[in-house]
Structure 1
Amino acid sequence: MFRPLAITLCLLASVSAVEKTFLNPISEGADPWVTKNGKQYVWCHSEGNRGIALWVSDRLTSMGQKHVIWTAPESGPYAKEVWAPEIHLLDGKWHVYFAASDGKNANHLAYVLTSRDADPLGPYTVHGPFATGDGKDGKSPNIWAIDMTVLEVSGKRYAIWSGWDAPGTDKQFLYIAPMKSPTELSGPRVLLAKNDDYLWERTEEKQESRGLAEGPEVLQNGGRTFVTYSTAASWLPTYKLGMLELTGKDPLDPKSWTKRPEPVFRGTDETYGIGHSCFVKSADDREWWHVYHAKRDKGTGWRRAIFVQPFTFGADGLPDFGKPVAPGTPLPFPSGESSPTPKLPVSADFTQGHPKGFSYYGHLQFVAFEKDGMHLGTVPEKPVNDYRSGEKLVLDGGEFTDFEATATLRFVKGDRDAGLLFRVTQPSVGFDAQSGYFAGLIPRDKMLVLGKMDGKGWKEIGRAPVELPAEATHQLGVIARGPVIKVTLGGKEVLTVRDESYPAGTVGLRVVDTHACFSKLEVKTVGGR
């Protein structure tokens, strides 16, 4: 048995309860794509290289709820390596362009999913591959292609993608072709631009290294058409954005495109390996926002996270992307967007799927909603570019001061922390990337721990020994009333602490290098509903 342990620690309040800003990165992931659908944002992501998921949100700063719309077959030409999907509403239906292969990169080609109707959540049918090769038919032979996007200008539609110049060369250039329909090209490909006009377009920014161009994305404003592209090495910090502008009348004529002589967006010492951008308006259409990924490590690799930040157009009509924001830097919400303000009581049953109003921060493959609840920190059999980051699911916009919160959980694999976040503000991707408190169970130490985070680090403020039988289901609770915080297990008080650092905030669930299943979260006023 355990006895309540009382600890007192008094600090000055340091955080406002009202969320007015957010922090980057907002998610794990690479090759981000987001578009507006009425008042909602629709994010499109590869589902572990084996499918495609849409995340639907009311806000640009949160990816919202996850919906898997397509799973690749077990075998075949588009069964593996599903890369860089992006969704477009064309001719009244949604079209998801993606690249896939049979498991060998050299066999990557471009495909498209088409929805049945105007519902982005499907169902979908698959079409392709597109004829992205040589010859009049584009298939003699068909040639490697990734990162396909759509350009609409002067009433006509074109596909732009990154492709090899010949089979097996591994040399990436930007190509363009006219479209007969959203699922078919109507003419041969045209080389849009060279990939090594400038030293900064080469992988290591050296004369002896090769040029590389990929991730084309369209940006149109004030009657002008731009195409940004990612260049240099995606696996190195040298990755950056170049830009072309359509200055002629015919998009199929390479002479109609003018390349900017300098990068339009490049990394800093804090945010590097940036690329594969897309561009979207704020909720009220008053602001432009830049969405891109950045590397997590300065070494070789593809572990990345997603950033969003505003940009403007200069007096010359050119986009001014500025510099990539440093992780953890507060930014105002996009114009017209505000953090929601949920009211108590809150009850979330995770056995029914991903509830609306909760945002996930962590590796996209490390969360799953099953019949028995939300599996947080679950590691798939074959993870893609994985990393741990204190995976968490957080209720959007809560500003709770005095409340009771209870989480029902069990440990599946691992013996580190799993438990409740509370009085939390400004959550982001990272172990301690939030301000607020965490009460967690640690099977390894048979301990309950309480601590606080300031967005950069962790400080323990109390712990107590507890019994944690293997495979048992636990009810972990927090009762917060002013500066007094009580932590309960199975309804019995275990730990009491006095701390004034964080007077209010939202609630959530979090794991630390552990896989736990959460079936329920309930939050109510102290002593009431």
Structure 2
Amino acid sequence: MSPRPRPRLLLLAAALLGLVLGLLPTATVPAAAASPAAAQPRAAAAAAGTFRNPLNTGPDPFMTHWNGAYYLTTTQGDSIKMWRSPSLGTLLTADPVTVWTDTDPSRNRNMWAPEFYRFGDRWYLYYTADDGIDEHHRLYVLESERDDPAGPYHFKAKLTPPNHADDFAIDAGVLQLGGRLYLAYSGINQYQHNGLNIAPMSNPYTVSGNAVALDAAGGCPEVREGPEFLYRNG
């Protein structure tokens, strides 16, 4: 490894660079080169305080890059749709594919926050759904028929920690740590109605132990939702 440059040498290099740049002619852009027509929509949007999501307009987005393409899901309501594109720039205009609908009336309404992960050679899609009553939201998981995040999928299991077997639960996320899996979600605990919980899993579709409440800090005293995990050096 080469030695780290000393501060004096860095200052000298910076001074020389500044001198060289000062001798170069300044590049200018004629006023006519800037298109007033192109600038008007941006100015109007800024004045109105609006913002257009460049990827998708739906809530609860989850995205994975796999095998040369980006796959995106968002909350759609009574179905789960997925967008696929080789570029982030074309996700917004990509045609969605419906990867799941359900005929079971206990879980075919208000499908929220789908997330999908690859374990082995199958994909597992986690989501929450109810029967039309918000308090009846529970967690479910689908399993792909082949090694493709876009499915097709079949229903695999309901995810229920033993100590919250019949409690409100939404926003599932999966943690992989030390060769084990953990289910994190937002649901009832001793801290709040929409609090963060985490439970061990024996495989991608089975909760194997009680959920533990996380007294997560934050600016809202009532709601903790949408747990996600960041992996260091991962």
TM-score, reference length from structure 2: 0.72
Aligned mate of 2:134, from 98, 105, 109? 105
**What amino acid maps onto 1:96 in structure 2?**
L
Matched with 2:226 is: 215
Partner deviation per Cα, 1:251-272 (whole Å, 9 max, x = no partner): xxxxxxxxxxxxxxxxxxxxxx
The number of aligned residues is 186
Alignment of 1:455-470 (within 5 A): none
Shift of 1:72: 2.6
Shift of 1:213: 0.7
Pick 1 or 2: higher relative contact order, CA cutoff 8 A, min separation 6.
1
Q: Relative to total residues, which structure has the larger helix share, 1 or 2? A: 2
- Match of 1:214, SS state, is coil
Alignment of 1:445-464 (within 5 A): none
Matched with 2:171 is: 147
Alignment of 1:310-459 (within 5 A): none
Matched with 1:184 is: 206
The alignment status of 1:120 with 2:149, answered yes or no, reads yes
State the alpha-carbon separation in 1 of the partners of residues 230 and 175 from structure 2.
9
> C-alpha root-mean-square deviation of aligned residues, in Å?
2.3
Alignment of 1:67-86 (within 5 A): 67-73=97-103, 75-86=104-115
Shift of 1:153: 1.0
Q: Check whether the contact 1:99–1:145 (CA below 8 A) recurs between aligned residues.
A: yes
Aligned mate of 1:194, from 208, 212, 215? 215
Matched with 2:180 is: 156
Q: Check whether the contact 1:171–1:212 (CA below 8 A) recurs between aligned residues.
A: yes
Q: Relative to total residues, which structure has the larger strand share, 1 or 2? A: 1
Matched with 1:89 is: 118
State the alpha-carbon separation in 1 of the partners of residues 88 and 140 from structure 2.
27
- Match of 1:61, SS state, is helix
State the alpha-carbon separation in 1 of the partners of residues 196 and 90 from structure 2.
31
Task: Give identity over the alignment, percent.
Answer: 30
Matched with 1:14 is: 34
Q: Assess, with a 3 A threshold, how the Cα gap between structure 1 residues 143 and 175 changes in structure 2: closer, same or farther.
A: same
Shift of 1:126: 1.1
Q: Check whether the contact 2:137–2:169 (CA below 8 A) recurs between aligned residues.
A: yes
State the alpha-carbon separation in 2 of the partners of residues 102 and 179 from structure 1.
26
Q: Check whether the contact 1:132–1:145 (CA below 8 A) recurs between aligned residues.
A: no
Matched with 1:56 is: 84
Shift of 1:154: 1.0
State the alpha-carbon separation in 2 of the partners of residues 132 and 107 from structure 1.
15
- Match of 2:135, SS state, is helix
Q: Check whether the contact 1:133–1:144 (CA below 8 A) recurs between aligned residues.
A: no
State the alpha-carbon separation in 1 of the partners of residues 159 and 122 from structure 2.
18
- Match of 1:215, SS state, is coil
| Uncovered stretches (5+) of structure 2, i.e. residues with no partner | 1-30, 36-50
- Match of 1:86, SS state, is strand
- Match of 2:181, SS state, is strand
Shift of 1:102: 0.5
Partner deviation per Cα, 1:345-375 (whole Å, 9 max, x = no partner): xxxxxxxxxxxxxxxxxxxxxxxxxxxxxxx
Shift of 1:46: 2.8
Shift of 1:117: 1.1
Matched with 1:175 is: 197
TM-score, reference length from structure 1: 0.33
